[in-house]
Structure 1
């Protein structure tokens, strides 16, 4: 009787080990993260004498008219979401979802939405309306001077 190994065929053990490796690889592929956010750029700061600037305030991020009442706007490059839950009330939150760090994708119907896994946050306080996010969006500091909104 001729042994299969003598003919260059793999052993039953090698075939089963290879099949198991393919299954583990497929399983781990399903666990990968996707839509990962790129690191947010640091917030611009007012240039002052300590920074070697002229002392002029930083350029406004937005005006009150740019942020719809009952809605908001995402500033991905600065890593913030500005909202106006009630007329004249400006709130700012991190644009990074607390579930897996994706940048939030929309502000609609009084909510901040992360399309990566459908987490929804309240525009007034950043609290989770529906998961899988387990924590609220952290607040960001802003100042409103006249009609201008600046990161603090």
Structure 2
């Protein structure tokens, strides 16, 4: 057997006896089987060295349901629909956002797209922002990840209250 190191840092072991037998032109069933197993093992080892390969998504989902937010200020509804200390998932046309009022008169707006793998978060009982895919939880006051696999906060959107209406964007 021979060990070689790939450019990505992985170590690969090859079966010399199988290669030698193939080079000499004498192929037994045993050597053919060994060559096949060694080749399959090498393919698996090399695939582990490839780029990408992470099961964690970047969460960069620029759909209208989250991501970059609305390009223009969007009327999301009445400020009275989001009581102090609570949050709501609001949709207006193609725009969906999580809007919270962590303190009386202070409104925050966040993307509804989880930063873990891009699932749509929900508001549970008006008091929790939770991703149904892997149970990540986020703060009502700043969108910070508070539990689960998500490590990054929800993207913040500009929010303003005018004449009792919530404008996001």
Q: Structure 1 pair 65/149, CA: closer, same or farther in 2 (3 Å)? A: same
Q: Distance in 2 between matches of 1:105 and 1:37?
A: 14
- TM-score, structure 1 normalization: 0.62
Which has the greater radius of gyration?
2
1:140 aligned residue = 157
Q: Alpha carbons of 1:4 and 1:84: their partners in 2 closer, same or farther (altered >3 Å)? A: farther
Question: Residue 63 of structure 1 corresponds to which residue in structure 2?
Answer: 78
Q: 1:43 aligns with which of 70, 76, 85?
A: 70
Structure 2 gap ranges (5+): 1-24
TM-align CA RMSD: 3.9
What SS does the corresponding residue of 1:39 show, helix, strand or coil?
coil
Aligned to 1:32: 55
2:142 matches 1:97:
no
Comparing 115-124 with 14-23, greater Cα deviation is found at: 14-23
Q: Are 2:145 and 1:122 equivalent residues in the alignment?
A: no
Instruction: Call closer, same or farther: CA 1:67–1:20 in 2, change over 3 Å.
Output: farther
Q: Which runs of 5+ in 1 are unaligned?
A: 47-57
Q: How many residues align?
A: 136
Q: Is the 8 A contact 2:143 2:155 kept in 1?
A: yes
Q: 1:18, 1:145 → 2: CA distance?
A: 65
